[in-house]
Amino acid sequence: MLLASTCTRSTQNEHLIDDTSRSFQRPMSRTTSPAGETDRLHVLDVLRGIALLGMFFVHFAMFSSGGGAVGEVYQRIVALFFEERFWAMFAMLFGVGFAVQLRRAEARGGSFGPSYVRRLVALAAFGFIAHACFGFNVLLGYAAWGLPLLLVRRWSVRALVIAVVLSAVSGNVYAIARAA
149-157 mean pLDDT:
90
Contact 139, 124 (CB under 8 A): yes
pLDDT value of position 10: 41
φ, ψ dihedrals at 131, nearest 5° = -70, -40
**Eight-class DSSP state of 109:** T
Q: Is the predicted pLDDT of residue 157 greater than 50, yes or no? A: yes
**Which of 2-6, 39-43, 47-51 has the least mean pLDDT?**
2-6
Question: pTM of the prediction?
Answer: 0.62
Cα–Cα distance for residue pair 72/26, rounded to 1 Å: 47
Please measure the distance between the N-terminal and C-terminal CA atoms of the chain and give it in whole angstroms. 74
Q: Is the predicted pLDDT of residue 38 greater than 80, yes or no? A: no
Contact 132, 180 (CB under 8 A): no
pLDDT value of position 159: 95
